[in-house]
Every structure is written in structure tokens, then in C-alpha cells.
Structure 1
Amino acid sequence: MDRLGLRQQLQNYRTPYEEESAFIADFSELTHDPLGYKREQLEGHFTASAWIVNKSRTHTLLTLHRKLGRWLQLGGHADGNENLIEVALKEAEEESGLTSLELVDSTIFDLDKHIIPERPHVKEHFHFDVRYLFEADINEPLIISDESVSLAWITFDSVVDMIGYNPSILRMLEKTSKSEILL
């Protein structure tokens, strides 16, 4: 899926979450900017994430992000790749070592626009994160990458205790619980 496919998905994307729907127009606008897929776009750029759950939908895989010091879903920069599903899959494989990842649906699972704090040599900027739902084998060994301090399969019931208050992760957790009903 290229930027035209993403633009079409964004036009069709509906969410009952006000905080998520508030920035759909910003995501659509960014698809028109060829630099929007590159981290050189200093105001903000696309990233892609994999919300990974086990097949029985009782656990999610989270990483303790080395630079941010927070538990998050796996993902990263598009680095020029307009196919954000490919980006999410590549980042998840690199950051976890998993080979059993399966895309549940090629449509957008979640969107989040969030600020990345300033660091040496990188000014404060926005990540326009497009998230996709993946399933994986919870028994497959994990390999921690340089980007993580730790990786863990967290039970849905323990996510809040592990991450504290992170509305975008809580939203994805809620969506996963709702989608389980539909399966």
C-alpha cells in the first residue's frame, strides 16, 4: 500500500474515539508531502507500529523503549517507505526477533499523533503513527534489540499496571477486546 492507498484508508477510517478522530485530517494532509515518510521532515513524519497480540487474545507484546524509557508497542520510522504495513512488520520483526507475525487486517487499526521530546541533535517533533494489528505465537523466543531495554508479553489485565496511563495504548487494548467479540 502506497500513499494513495493510505490516503484512501484515512478517508474511510472511522473511530468512536474523539482523541483519535481529531487528527485524521492531519494524517491525510501529510500523505500529500513526499517528505512526510522521512524523518528529515522536521515538523513531523510517519511512523508505523505493530500492536501484537497472541492468538487467544489474552496478551500483548510490549517493549521498554530505550530512549523514551516507557513501555510501548513495537514500531518505528518509515524512512521513505510509503507502505506502512511493511514498515510495521519490519520494525516488529527487528525489535522482537519474532518470525510468526501475522497481519490480522490490512486496514488501519489505530492512529496516534504524539510529540517526541527534544534530544541532542533532534528537535522536538511529531510522530504520525499508523498502527496495524498483528498476531504472533506467544511461545516463540524473543530477541531484544538495541532499541529496547526489555520485551514482555503482558496480560491484558496487567497492561495498566505495567504502563501507567497511556491513552493510546489503552485505546488499542480496548479495541482488541472489542474485536475479540467480533471474531
Structure 2
Amino acid sequence: MKQKILNYQPFNEQEEKDKELLLKVIEQKDVLTRKNTIGHFTVSCWVLNQSHDKVLMCYHKIYNSWCWLGGHVDGQKDFKKVALKEFQEESGLKHVQFLKDDPFSIEVLTVNGHIKNGVYVSSHLHYNITYLMEADDQEKLIIKEDENKGLQWFDFEEALKASTEPWLVENVYKKLNKKIEKGYH
């Protein structure tokens, strides 16, 4: 993954700064696992329908917000494989393809302290790699009840309004939509 990050061409200043940080932390001990309680790698999926005019979002139980799909890499080095697994587990969809082989976006995300499976998890960072994917919006969605309360296809503007996480909306979701509009896929 280090080479993919090195080769990544930042879209904006946020990605430039976050790329620098990702390259610093990629060599840290346990950064691919949650054992590193300061920060660890995650993947996210920005999933478009076949017409590329809607995005799939889930209503995440911990964040109480509509958000992208994804999860922790949990020691895996093939981040694309993790993204595919997380997407399929969280959506129930089996027919999906990557629109871009390389990462579509990179972010360093702050995660507030929260309760997961009855245990408190302290605030920490997610060193996130986002993949752009396409799925069939007619295929039946299946909620992963231990993680989300809902799944829904939104047009790009609706997706921004549905999320109750202002920082993600302003700094990530808008950026992802802008990249799609400008043909970065």
C-alpha cells in the first residue's frame, strides 16, 4: 500500500497534507490493526449506481448518520480486497466492480470516543483509503443489523443533506462528488 500512497496524486490541499501523514504512519507498529489505539488504517467505499447519478449510503449505528460503507483493514495488506468484503457484508450486494484500480481518495479522519460491543473505544484516527465502486441499484439491499440501521441510494445532493456529520460532508463527501463531476474516475 505504501507504493499506492506514494503514487497517489492529491486532488486538493487536504489530500496533500493527509498523504504526507499517511506516508509517515504506514511504517508504524500495528498501524494495520486496531491494536494501534492512536490510529489505524481503514477503507471506505464510495459506491455509484450504473448511471453514476446516485451513491449508496448506510445509516451507521455508532455515528447515527448516513455515511459511506467500509471498515478496518484488520491486518490485511490487500486494501481493495478488504473494501470489497466490507461493501458486500454491509450492503448484501454481490455484484460490484471497482471503477478505479487505485485509491480514489485519501483522508485522515478523527473518530470520537464511542461504545462498540459494550466496550468504550477512545478517540483515535482512521488513516483512510477510499475506493470508487459501481453496483446495481436494482439489486436487493440487506442491512447488516449489528452495524447499520438502513441502506439507501441517494442522488449526490441528497447524500450531502442526509449525513449529519458536517466535517465529512464538507471535507470528504463534497470532494468525492466533485472528483466524479470532474471525471477523476
Q: TM-score, normalised by structure 2?
A: 0.90
**2:122 corresponds to:** 123
**Which of residues 24, 27, 34 in structure 1 aligns to 2:19?**
24
**2:179 corresponds to:** 175
**2:137 corresponds to:** 138
More helix by share: 1
**2:69 corresponds to:** 74
| 104-113 vs 89-98, which moves further | 104-113
| 157-166 vs 21-30, which moves further | 157-166
Mapping of 1:27-176 within 5 angstroms?
27-120=22-115, 121-145=120-144, 146-163=146-163, 165=166, 166=169, 167-176=171-180
Q: Tell me how far apart the structure 1 counterparts of residues 74 and 114 of structure 2 sit (CA, whole Å).
A: 19
| Number of corresponding residues | 176
> RMSD of the TM alignment (CA)?
1.5
SS of aligned partner of 2:76: coil
**1:15 corresponds to:** 10
Q: Is the 8 A contact 2:62 2:114 kept in 1?
A: no
Q: Tell me how far apart the structure 1 counterparts of residues 127 and 163 of structure 2 sit (CA, whole Å).
A: 21
Which portions of structure 1, spanning 4 or more consecutive aligned residues, are displaced by more than 2 angstroms?
A: none
SS of aligned partner of 1:113: strand
Unpaired segments ≥5 residues, structure 1: 1-5
Q: CA deviation at 1:163?
A: 2.0
Q: Tell me how far apart the structure 1 counterparts of residues 98 and 36 of structure 2 sit (CA, whole Å).
A: 28
